[in-house]
Every structure is written in C-alpha cells, then in structure tokens.
Structure 1
C-alpha cells in the first residue's frame, strides 16, 4: 500500500470555538442548509464521536449518491477531528481510503486557521492524480468559506 499526503491551511476571521462548533460539531445539521445544491442530508450512525459513521447524501446531479466517513478522533478541547473516507468520492480501484485530520488553531488576529492533512491510501504504489487531490482541496475550501460566510452574516450563531 502506498500513501500520498498533502496539507492545506485555511485562514479565516471566525473565532476558533465558533468555526469548530459550526463546521465540525454541527456540520450534519448546518451543511445541508448551506449547500443544498451539493448536500441533500447528512445521517450520523452513532453518537457523533469516534466510531460513528457519517453518510453524506449528495444532491441530484452529483457523480455519487453518497459518501461515507468514519470518525476516528474528535477532540473538542483541542479543536481536532480526524475521519476516514470509506465509501464514495475518490474511493475506487486505486484509492482504498482517505484519512483527513482537521486541526483548528487560533490566529493572531482573533480568527482561526484550519490545518488539514489528507492521506490517500492506495493499492500498491499507485499514484494519486492531481485532479483527485484537487477535488478534496476544493471541497474543503468551499465548505470552509460557506460556513465562514454564514457565521459572519449571523454573529450570534454558534456563539
């Protein structure tokens, strides 16, 4: 098995606690409302903590019906979440799973920085195509910016 790793940092003006609460802890409720053209619903099997499965049911016209994540770690005190993409999306003949770690840190200006590490686990030493990495990066950035915009427009939400 091969592993291809990439990292991404997304900075924003929203405080650490608010962005983590909205974008991670309540994502199953918030994201379908903010991205109805992409996400129909998110079903959580389990208590939302480690071992839980999140099934993201995608909107009509998406290339996949759904994608599934297994939550590996959830550290509310240290603003960290780690999950594994186990079904749908880029999972297929070459990519077995994608492990993503989201670590949120306070930025000096009162906002936050989300550091994302993605590990693509492949069959043998198959190469991960730039387009597969780009899909993952683009989705993370889009979701982050949509949640950020919502929180800026609604200053009392998730306060």
Structure 2
C-alpha cells in the first residue's frame, strides 16, 4: 500500500453559509433532487447528520465502476465550515484503494464574493503505486460536481438556504 493525497480548490460564487447548508448539511436531501441522473438516493443509515452519521449514496447507471458509496461523518464543524468523512464501503474502496478520507473546507473568498472550496483526499492504494491521474480525477470530480450542482441550484433559487 502507498499513501497518497489529492488536493483541489474551487471558487464558488455562493456565500459561504448558503453553500454550507445546501452542499454539506442538507446534501442528503438536495443532491438526489438536483443530480437525479447520477444520484438515485442518499439514505442516512445511522445518526442525525453530525459526527458519526453513516450515509449510503446510491448511484444510477451513469456511474459505471460502482453502484454505491457508504461514508461516515468524521468532522462537521459549522462554525469553521470544515467537513470530513471517511468512505466505509463501496466506491473505489476494494477496487483501487483500501481506504480514503475526504475533507472539504469552505473559506471566504478574498475578493469578498462567494467562497473557496478546498478539497483534500487522503487514500491508501491497494497496490504499490499511487492512483493514476485519471483515477485521482474521478475521486475529486464527484465532490466538485456536487458543489457545482449546488452552486447552480442556489443561483437559480436565490431564496433557498438563505
């Protein structure tokens, strides 16, 4: 096994608190509605949304490699806008990685508009090499796609999550 880290940053035009509420706190309700072609459901298996909550994301046939991901909330810090979760089962776990943990941190944009979404994923590969650039991009793109979908929804529905 080899440990790897993937990082990315995305600038959202949405105010930090609205994006936090939509894309993090209420993701289990919002994402299946705004991404029905990718996410068929998000079910809370255990907990109430905070630390320790276990959620199962079930995907449509649009996702070819796997049909679901089960994750566990490790950090849910609404004051500092830090969200961290570990993938318990599904996704690339067992296919290409033995485990991975994702962290999403929202910070105010320096220009005063919107916020920065900082993503960091730490993983342990199943083999003796890091993930390919293509596999690393797949892991990060899922999170970015959900944030961008939330952005579009919030821009079109300016009263939502305000």
The residue aligned with 1:36 is: 36
The residue aligned with 1:22 is: 22
The residue aligned with 1:113 is: 116
1:144 is aligned, of 136, 144, 147, to 147
For residues 20-99 of structure 1, the aligned pairs below 5 Å read 20-44=20-44, 45-63=46-64, 64-99=66-101
CA distance in 2, matches of 1:136, 1:123: 15
Q: Residue deviations 1:80-101, cap 9 Å, x none?
A: 1000112111111541111000
Assess, with a 3 A threshold, how the Cα gap between structure 1 residues 116 and 61 changes in structure 2: closer, same or farther.
closer
CA distance in 1, matches of 2:5, 2:41: 29
What is the TM-score normalised by the length of structure 2? 0.92
What is the aligned-residue RMSD (CA, Å)?
1.5
Deviation at 1:60, TM superposition (A): 3.4
CA distance in 2, matches of 1:94, 1:37: 24
What are structure 2's unaligned runs of at least 5 residues?
A: none
Assess, with a 3 A threshold, how the Cα gap between structure 1 residues 58 and 18 changes in structure 2: closer, same or farther.
same
CA distance in 1, matches of 2:21, 2:139: 22
CA distance in 1, matches of 2:95, 2:49: 29
Count, aligned residues: 159
CA distance in 1, matches of 2:20, 2:136: 23
What is the TM-score normalised by the length of structure 1? 0.93
